[in-house]
Amino acid sequence: MSNVEAVFHRCRAEGRIALVAYLTVGYPAPADTVPLVQALVEGGFDIVELGVPFSDPLADGATIQRASQRALANGINLARALASAAALRGTVAAPLLLMGYYNPFLRYGLERLAADAARSGIQGLIVPDLPPEEADELAAAIAPHGIDNISMLAPTSGPARMAIVGRQARGFVYCVSLAGVTGARRSLSSDLEPFLAEARRHTDLPLAVGFGLSRPEHVAAVARVADGAVVGSAIIDLIDALPPAERAAGLRAFAASLRTAALRN
């Protein structure tokens, strides 16, 4: 069992689901990444996805697209994202994941990425534009370094793709809550429960739900059917809404509200 998967088992033993935070590295400014991630973990998030900014983030909505453009303008690239992970290593207990698109990873070099990610404390990779049928090369590069290949499933994934993900995934399976892009929404899809039930037929790994989760009531709903909840756009929206001096406290309070909602009744 990897460290990432172990977090889900620990949370289950504590009677709750795991909370996974997403933050674009270098947003709003490069110096903000470390203190904002620390605030999210102090507030109650169990795992953190560090988003690598990319010029064409096809799975992301307006909020994360805007954050990516700002981070790119701030000079953030894959190497600097790894440096941010290294700066966080040892300062937070939560496992750090790298979430990014395949083009920068491939250009960096998969073997080099695997080695540098491991040295930086990264414990998992999420690549939303890499189909599982084409992920063997990446999975083979990162596995010897103890880095989990965290695969994604969407409501449109059929049994054949679910079976591939079930064989290939490590850590947890990221289940996209809807057919669309990231972004905070008012409600979750009514099709979520049968989608997760079908996914469970193909894997024993924990299932975490992401895309659209923004409120405690969303986390409470996910707690009834899944093992984890991923929150991203709502975090960036909150950062945008707060003065710089209040951002860390605001993120801690937001995380605490989600942690309460994550309890399984």
Annotated active-site positions, please? Answer: 49, 60
What's the rounded Cα separation, in Å, for the pair 209 and 20? 9
What's the rounded Cα separation, in Å, for the pair 241 and 237? 6
**CA 86 to chain centroid:** 18
Helix (H) or strand (E) holding 179: none
Q: Give how far Cα 27 sits from Cα of 94, 128, 133, 135, 247, Å.
A: 20, 20, 32, 29, 12
The residue among 17, 15, 2, 69 whose CA lies nearest residue 213 is 17
Number of helical H runs and strand E runs in the chain: 12, 9
Residue 132 · residue 107 · CB < 8 Å: no
